[in-house]
Structure 1
């Protein structure tokens, strides 16, 4: 896996968060690996999770099975990026 590919996945996840949650570009750009997501970002409620995952699937060309979705994956920005990167490039 190249660093360019990993960076593209991270950029895509930031873009999806921005678009689906309606947050500013600056706010999304400020997310670090340890930035808490689910339960900490008010816009990311249980209803938004489905849209978020669907958009990640579409943009990265991956399929996310329901049994892969858990609280740990959505706990932090880094966890979500790692999950998406592993699915897209794994």
Structure 2
């Protein structure tokens, strides 16, 4: 099972946000709102999500909308895990 806090913690680790990540909720904006969240961070996060949750993310599944908020990343990962992909 994928927990919101696990996804949030992973985002904090990848972006090296330290204690800032503690205040993140589902509606916390990511893309365009956090300077550390650039294109390289997106790639690093995708790789970490794949490894941590045993999912595969195809290129055509990657969109700005997926990384718009912490909650959207969580929902994306949860759906992938539930689908077994």
Tell me if 1:42 matches 2:35.
yes
Residue segments in structure 1 that go unaligned for 5+ positions in a row: none
| TM superposition outliers: structure 1 runs of 4+ over 2 Å | none
The 2-side partners of 1:16 and 1:74 are apart by 14
Aligned residue for 1:15?
9
The 1-side partners of 2:58 and 2:21 are apart by 25
- Contact 1:12–1:59, Cα closer than 8 Å, also in 2: no
Q: TM-score, normalised by structure 2?
A: 0.89
Q: TM-score, normalised by structure 1?
A: 0.85
Kindly provide the CA deviation profile for residues 12-49 of structure 1, in whole angstroms up to 9, marking residues without a partner as x.
Answer: 2112112111111x321211111110110111001111
Residue segments in structure 2 that go unaligned for 5+ positions in a row: none
The 1-side partners of 2:7 and 2:50 are apart by 10
Aligned residue for 1:30?
23
